[in-house]
């Protein structure tokens, strides 16, 4: 196992220890979240899980975990999810796994959100990881031009790229497309978040601001807690 994987696993296992029987738990998406799901499944608690993607739902179901749709349970007690970058004030970039919309819906419906990551994800300024932006497929090239305008308003003169896999555009679980914007440095994430949300055709973006309550960061010397 690589060092990064060992750190992801340690963070996932530390987060699983936060869960108590009777909780409604939001399950994130990605390789780090998968460690959390496996560790939680192994504890065999009486919990109800709300998943942020079809992939996570498949994993959780394979472990025999009880699943419910968002909105079918009482409020979610705790959501645990990974991130692509963890910046100042627990600002995050998410969406590397194309699940940002369902993730944000679940996060916003949760009393408490804990982000788990390996140490390399912690950055002084967000933006080295290209920011994922989810757009509806209809007219997406026009929407991409409007996204360029929104980025320039924030002094980010870059063109977002349509995410492709095996020669085809990547589709999210909801059937939307993802554009990735290589911002470099996002000095004012809140302004960028507002500018992107104002573009018709943009469903959401991977900036998660003021949503994480705590970060559990796997590091060579153990799991560090950031609040």
Q: Pick out the residues of the known binding site for substrate.
A: 29-32, 81-84, 94-97, 121
Q: How far apart are CA 108 and CA 123, in angstroms?
A: 23
108 is a catalytic site residue: no
Q: How many residues does the chain have?
A: 227
Q: How far is CA 182 from the centre of its chain?
A: 17
Question: Is the Cβ of residue 83 or residue 144 nearer to ligand 5RP in the bound state?
Answer: 83
Count residues near ligand 5RP (CB under 6 A): 18
Q: Does 87 bind ligand 5RP (CB under 6 A)?
A: no
Closest distance to ligand 5RP from the beta carbon of 19 (Å)? 18
Q: Does 204 bind ligand 5RP (CB under 6 A)?
A: no
Q: Which stretch binds ligand 5RP (CB under 6 A): 76-84, 153-161, 163-171, 210-218?
A: 76-84
Q: Which of 72, 103, 134, 187 is catalytic?
A: 103
Q: Does 12 bind ligand 5RP (CB under 6 A)?
A: no
Closest distance to ligand 5RP from the beta carbon of 98 (Å)? 6
Q: Does 84 bind ligand 5RP (CB under 6 A)?
A: yes
Q: How far apart are CA 194 and CA 192, in angstroms?
A: 5
Closest distance to ligand 5RP from the beta carbon of 21 (Å)? 26
Question: Is the Cβ of residue 84 or residue 180 nearer to ligand 5RP in the bound state?
Answer: 84
Q: Which stretch binds ligand 5RP (CB under 6 A): 60-68, 82-90, 106-114, 191-199?
A: 82-90
Residues contacting 149, CB < 8 A, separation 6+:
none
Q: Does 180 bind ligand 5RP (CB under 6 A)?
A: no
Question: Is the Cβ of residue 36 or residue 201 nearer to ligand 5RP in the bound state?
Answer: 36
- Say if CB 84 and CB 93 are below 8 A apart: yes
Q: According to CB under 6 A, which residues from 24 to 63 bind ligand 5RP?
A: 28-33
- Say if CB 160 and CB 154 are below 8 A apart: no
The values of phi and psi at residue 50, to 5°, are -110, 120
Q: Does 82 bind ligand 5RP (CB under 6 A)?
A: yes
By annotation, the residues acting in catalysis are 103
Contact residues toward ligand 5RP (CB under 6 A) are: 28-33, 81-84, 94-100, 103
């Amino acid at each position: 196992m690589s060092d990064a994987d060992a750190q992801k696993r340690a963070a996932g296992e530390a987060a699983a220890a936060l869960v108590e029987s009777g909780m409604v738990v939001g399950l994130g998406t990605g390789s780090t979240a998968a460690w959390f799901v496996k560790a939680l499944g192994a504890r065999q608690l009486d919990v109800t899980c709300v998943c942020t993607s079809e992939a996570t739902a498949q994993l959780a179901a394979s472990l025999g975990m009880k699943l419910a749709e968002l909105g079918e349970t009482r409020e979610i007690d705790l959501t645990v999810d990974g991130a692509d970058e963890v910046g100042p004030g627990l600002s995050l970039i998410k969406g590397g796994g194309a699940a940002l919309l369902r993730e944000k819906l679940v996060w916003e419906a949760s009393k408490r959100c804990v982000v788990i990551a390996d140490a390399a994800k912690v950055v002084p300024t967000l933006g080295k990881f290209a920011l994922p932006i989810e757009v509806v497929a209809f007219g997406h090239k026009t929407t991409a031009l409007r996204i360029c305008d929104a980025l320039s308003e924030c002094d980010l003169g870059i063109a977002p790229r349509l995410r492709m896999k095996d020669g085809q555009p990547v589709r999210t679980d909801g059937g939307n497309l993802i554009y990735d914007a290589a911002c470099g440095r996002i000095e004012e994430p809140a302004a960028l978040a507002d500018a992107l949300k104002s573009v018709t055709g943009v469903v959401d973006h991977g900036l998660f601001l003021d949503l994480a309550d705590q970060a559990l960061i796997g590091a060579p010397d153990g799991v560090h807690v950031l609040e």
